[in-house]
Amino acid sequence: MKDDNCIFCKIANGQIPSATIYEDEAFRVILDLGPAAKGHALILPKDHYPNLFELPDDTAAAAMKLAKKLGAKMKENLGADGFNLVQNNGECAGQTVFHFHLHLIPRYEDDGQKIGWKPGKPSSEELEETRKIITGE
């Protein structure tokens, strides 16, 4: 399934050229045009799924296996000191392209980047309340 209006469908299926570091029947992995650090790549399924929740379980599992394999290769070949996996779902979570993608971000001691959040300080009662909302207890 492809979406004619989706740029990542076109890239994943080779209609738009990209710096491809890996390709198989189900995925294309490309270098991000606006990298957080050298080697920042995106795992794109060739089929169109807008986000993680629409992605079939077996594709999700395969994407994570691929992240592990390519992450190790990138760490080794680029000499990265660490690695972030980032996957945004929804506009408020920072998603800008609505075709599932998993960011592979090699990290370097002095790369000056920050991937993070401002930590909250919930009380144990608040944590318990949140736990109950999530689990439905």
Residues designated catalytic: 101
Does 100 bind ligand 5GP (CB under 6 A)? Our answer is no
Q: Per CB under 6 A, which of residues 9..38 are in contact with ligand 5GP?
A: 18, 30, 32-34
Measured in Å, how far apart are the chain's first and last C-alpha atoms? 38
Count, residues near ligand 5GP per rule CB under 6 A: 12
The entry of Zn ion, ligand 5GP, none that residue 48 binds, CB within 5 to 8 Å by partner kind: Zn ion
Q: How many CB atoms lie within 10 A of CB 19?
A: 10
Q: Quote the tokens at residue 117.
A: 């959040």
Applying CB under 6 A, among 13, 51, 97, 113 the residue interacting with ligand 5GP is 97
67 three-class SS: helix
Cβ of 100: how many Cβ atoms within 10 Å? 26
- Which residues sit at the interface with ligand 5GP, rule CB under 6 A? 7, 18, 30, 32-34, 42, 88, 94-97
